[in-house]
Amino acid sequence: MTTVLKLGGSVVTRKEDPETVDADALAIAADAIAGALGDRSDGPDRLVVVHGGGSFGHHHADRHGVSATAGSHDAAALSEIHGAMGELNDAVLDAFHERGVNALPVRPLSVAYRADGTGDSGTDGATDGDDHSGTDSETARLHLPTASVEAMLAEGFVPVLHGDVVTHRGRGGTILSGDEIVVSLARSLDADRLGVCSTVPGVLDANGDVIERIDSLSSVAETLGASDATDVTGGMAGKVRALLAVPTPAHVFGLSDLEAFLAGRAPGTVVGGPE
Amino acid sequence: MTTVLKLGGSVVTRKEDPETVDADALAIAADAIAGALGDRSDGPDRLVVVHGGGSFGHHHADRHGVSATAGSHDAAALSEIHGAMGELNDAVLDAFHERGVNALPVRPLSVAYRADGTGDSGTDGATDGDDHSGTDSETARLHLPTASVEAMLAEGFVPVLHGDVVTHRGRGGTILSGDEIVVSLARSLDADRLGVCSTVPGVLDANGDVIERIDSLSSVAETLGASDATDVTGGMAGKVRALLAVPTPAHVFGLSDLEAFLAGRAPGTVVGGPE
């Protein structure tokens, strides 16, 4: 069974403090993962972890004016953002290694790129891991080949990817979010389960209660403000839309439910999946 | 025109001192590259740089018993070797950025893997950048997809790869040398020129003189001791054999000739290329 797990950037870092790991939260996450892999009877046998950038990289990206759509051709600036993301990745890997989780880094800048959705360059080269998410013409086609990730999984490693900068055809380099990565991986790895570990216990309704199941965006449009079709900013409506587009059932839950998710249970909100 | 340039690990690091950059040598190399890219009338318009590990990573690899053929499934050990190689990569990138070279890192562990040559897994997935170098049955097939490298080149960036650890099907992780990377890249990028910047001014004959041109291994077999068919250790005979197997003409030269090579001249020894 293949599981793709997103650890929210705001879960494992302190959003208020630039480039500061939330060591307590990371320890809880790493403990849950080590526990699940140690007891494979009900845990995942193939696990890919993706973490967001959180307070790492964020202010570098802001300072250089780089976003998911606004690119830069300044390699020093892009390397600075990439380097900050790498520091968080190192911290996550260290926490995993301390607990015997056989984790290896996969840096998206090294392997992925975007071809502009408005251009004609989307048809070249990449043969796997392609993902044309979203409906906005501004959305670019992400190419994230997974041969190296598959090789790691076959050897029993846990690949750990992260929000990063990536080359963006026609724009230099732009920001690639952890959310985009998990959606692409879930599809290209034909994942059985997709977990999104967040700072909230699930997708919340207007009363702040966890919605148990979401099968269509229209059913929750009012609650999430999803009627705004231009929402590509990574808000909850955008996340839900992206998760609904993937055949893999997705689970959105809080850190305290990570252990339950990895044990095969369905905490928080289930989004989409087979009819 | 596409140029692949190898900067020898022993050129840019002090082999005697663990994890010490040879700052003077690196500055000379970075100056030459910045100069060549600044004057594109005769310089390369698409440049990929690959550096060896030199004194970085080497003792970590030795300590953990990891080589090109001896693998490890200990992700913490592999990450330690990878991290040391990454520190050298950061130093090279810094030197490039200081001189306005728009360089971005490509970490081989993130993108490449080996399938054992003796297994049947060499036929899966990867569609480009495949390289089955060498004749020894112990030699594994290297998969180094270049879609991300091509995307960087198209945006005017200079991808910088390095000797690294890579996932090796059936063996965990093994060492991937800079020499293997340049041979793979020259082929998959259909490079026009391949430069190997070394600590010697070329391939030397028995008298220590630079051999001007090598078209076959047999012509220099006695001089290089190449009759020993089991040489897969990266000695000069092994390097020449690998370079002869690539359609791209290869130039082996010393650091003082890097500027001349990048200006389109042919210093040192020319190995192979079109008849």
pLDDT digits (tens, 9 = 90+) for B254-267: 999 999 999 999 99
How far apart are the CA of B201 and the nearest CA of chain A, in angstroms?
32
Per-residue pLDDT tens for B216-233?
A: 988 887 777 644 444 444
In this prediction, residue B139 carries a pLDDT of 59
Dihedral (C-alpha) B52, B55, B56, B62: value to the nearest 10 degrees?
100
Q: Which residue of B has its CA nearest to A78?
A: B104
In this prediction, residue A250 carries a pLDDT of 97
Q: Which residue of A has its CA nearest to B78?
A: A104
Across residues A223-232, what is the average pLDDT? 52
Q: Do A156 and B78 touch (CB under 8 A)?
A: no
Per-residue pLDDT tens for B106-122?
A: 999 999 999 975 543 33
Written as six digits, the tokens of A154 are: 């076959």
In this prediction, residue A127 carries a pLDDT of 36
- To probe the interface with B, which of A87, A92, A110, A174 has the most B CB atoms within 10 Å? A110
Across residues A39-56, what is the average pLDDT? 86
Over 70: is that where the pLDDT of B134 sits?
no
The answer to whether residue A87 neighbours chain B at the CB level (below 8 Å) is no
In this prediction, residue A236 carries a pLDDT of 81
Per-residue pLDDT tens for B87-97?
A: 999 999 999 99
Residues in chain A with CB shorter than 8 Å from the CB of B157 are 73, 75, 167, 172
Over 80: is that where the pLDDT of B11 sits?
yes
In this prediction, residue A122 carries a pLDDT of 36
Q: Do B155 and A143 touch (CB under 8 A)?
A: no
How far apart are the CA of A267 and the nearest CA of chain B, in angstroms?
30
Across residues A235-258, what is the average pLDDT? 92
Q: Interhelix angle for A75-98 vs B75-98, to 10°?
A: 160
How far apart are the CA of B77 and the nearest CA of chain A, in angstroms?
9
Option in B79, B157, B171 nearest A93 (CB): B79
Option in A104, A147, A169 nearest B125 (CB): A147
Lowest mean pLDDT among A73-87, A141-155, A242-256, B43-57: B43-57
Across residues A203-224, what is the average pLDDT? 87
Contact A71, A140 (CB under 8 A): no
For each of the domains in chain A, give its residue range(s) and CATH number, in order of start. Answer: 2-271 (3.40.1160.10)
Written as six digits, the tokens of B40 are: 């594109």
In this prediction, residue A38 carries a pLDDT of 86
Look at residues B53, B9, B17 and name the one whose alpha carbon lies nearest to residue B164.
B53
**Average pLDDT score over chain B:** 87
Share of chain B above pLDDT 70, in %: 86
Over 70: is that where the pLDDT of A125 sits?
no
Sheet holding B269-271, edge to edge: B103-105, B158-162, B46-51, B2-7, B193-198, B250-254, B269-271, B213-214
CA gap B53, A192 in Å, rounded: 39
Alpha helices in A99-177 (DSSP H): 108-111, 147-154
The answer to whether residue B148 neighbours chain A at the CB level (below 8 Å) is yes
Option in B109, B128, B169 nearest A125 (CB): B128
CA gap A138, B194 in Å, rounded: 38
Option in A75, A90, A102 nearest B75 (CB): A102
pTM for this predicted structure: 0.91
Of the two residues A62 and B233, the one the predictor is more confident about is A62
How far apart are the CA of A104 and the nearest CA of chain B, in angstroms?
6
In this prediction, residue B188 carries a pLDDT of 97
Alpha helices in chain B (DSSP H): 9-12, 23-38, 58-63, 75-98, 108-111, 147-154, 178-188, 217-224, 236-244, 258-262
From chain B residues 90-109, the ones with a CB under 8 A of any chain A CB are 90, 93, 97, 101-109
Of the two residues A241 and A250, the one the predictor is more confident about is A250
The pLDDT confidence band at residue A225, using thresholds 50, 70 and 90, is low
The answer to whether residue B15 neighbours chain A at the CB level (below 8 Å) is no
Over 80: is that where the pLDDT of A123 sits?
no
Over 90: is that where the pLDDT of A257 sits?
yes
Contact A138, A117 (CB under 8 A): yes
How far apart are the CA of A157 and the nearest CA of chain B, in angstroms?
7
In this prediction, residue A131 carries a pLDDT of 40
Q: Do A152 and B97 touch (CB under 8 A)?
A: no
Of the two residues A231 and A275, the one the predictor is more confident about is A275
Q: What is the DSSP-derived secondary structure letter of residue B70?
A: -
The answer to whether residue A262 neighbours chain B at the CB level (below 8 Å) is no
The answer to whether residue B172 neighbours chain A at the CB level (below 8 Å) is yes
